């Protein structure tokens, strides 16, 4: 469930936004002044912050500036004044979006969803950028498509490599043969699931250490998993 911090000094508006967000399944918390709102933003992790521009003690631009010194929490600035300078200035200081009061709650909800989706996509991208994977003493360097144990390179075929990568990217998740066929062989047709067993055997022959437990566990009737 997404946690949204609302920093807004008009209490009726803050309560209204909060109730609407809760109705949509968000967790919310309200602060009515810039200073305590900033403390809340810094001390806890929020998925997004709805931030009023004109606030007692610290204004929205100052709050944004101070948050940005340490955190990337997405911020939507809410401004009562349809003043282009304020908006530009808010975005300059690190707000991700802005909305002009008075606004329809649906518009705020739509912008919030869009922002959270964008953040999700970016964090997925960052996760995929992780170029080195480790499992026990096996290291996969994705950039070089290289698999090694310490300094010893393990020579894998393309298919074996894809299979190992898929297992290592899903540590602790049991992958069914059908799933592995889809991911590694791009099969839509699940007729030939025994090819997976064959390749698991090839892979084990190359990565396992004789006399020690296999890196890849068989889950009978289900598929395969690498357990952390």
- Site residues for Ca ion per CB under 5 A: 9, 52, 54
Distance CA 211, CA 191 (A): 34
Residue closer to Ca ion (CB basis): 17 or 200: 17
Among 106, 108, 102, 100, which Cα is nearest to 79's?
100
Residue closer to Ca ion (CB basis): 9 or 182: 9
User: Smallest distance from the beta carbon of 60 to Ca ion, in angstroms?
Assistant: 8
CA–CA distance from 158 to each of 164, 191, 203 (Å)? 10, 22, 11
Name residues whose C-beta falls within 8 Å of residue 214's C-beta, 6 or more positions apart in sequence: 204, 208
User: Smallest distance from the beta carbon of 93 to Ca ion, in angstroms?
Assistant: 17
User: Smallest distance from the beta carbon of 170 to Ca ion, in angstroms?
Assistant: 47
Classify residue 185 by its DSSP letter. I
Residue showing tokens 């950039």: 143
Q: Using CB positions, name the residue nearest to Ca ion.
A: 54
User: Smallest distance from the beta carbon of 55 to Ca ion, in angstroms?
Assistant: 6
Residue closer to Ca ion (CB basis): 63 or 207: 63
Classify residue 223 by its DSSP letter. E
Residue closer to Ca ion (CB basis): 80 or 195: 80
Copy the structure tokens of residue 33: 């002044």
User: Smallest distance from the beta carbon of 52 to Ca ion, in angstroms?
Assistant: 4
- Looking at the chain, the number of H-run helices and the number of E-run strands are 8, 12
Copy the structure tokens of residue 226: 């690498």
Residue closer to Ca ion (CB basis): 52 or 97: 52
């Amino acid at each position: 469930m997404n946690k949204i911090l609302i920093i807004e000094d008009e209490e009726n508006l803050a309560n209204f936004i909060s109730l609407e967000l809760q109705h949509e399944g968000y967790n919310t918390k309200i602060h009515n002044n810039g200073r305590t709102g900033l403390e809340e933003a810094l001390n806890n992790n929020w998925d997004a912050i709805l931030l009023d521009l004109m606030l007692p003690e610290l204004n929205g631009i100052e709050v944004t500036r101070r948050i940005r010194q340490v955190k990337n929490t997405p911020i939507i600035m809410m401004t009562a004044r349809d003043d282009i300078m304020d908006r530009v200035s808010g975005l300059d200081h690190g707000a991700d979006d802005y909305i002009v009061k008075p606004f329809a709650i649906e518009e705020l909800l739509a912008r919030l969803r869009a922002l959270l989706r964008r953040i999700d996509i970016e964090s997925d991208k960052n996760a995929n950028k992780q170029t080195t994977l480790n499992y026990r003493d096996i290291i996969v360097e994705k950039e070089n498509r290289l698999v090694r144990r310490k300094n010893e390179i393990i020579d894998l075929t393309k298919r074996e490599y894809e299979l190992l990568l898929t297992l290592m990217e899903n540590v602790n998740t049991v992958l069914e043969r059908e799933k592995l066929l889809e991911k590694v062989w791009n099969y839509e047709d699940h007729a030939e699931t025994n090819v997976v067993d064959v390749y698991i055997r090839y892979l084990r022959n190359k990565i396992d250490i004789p006399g020690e437990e296999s890196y890849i566990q068989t889950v009978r009737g289900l598929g395969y998993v690498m357990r952390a």
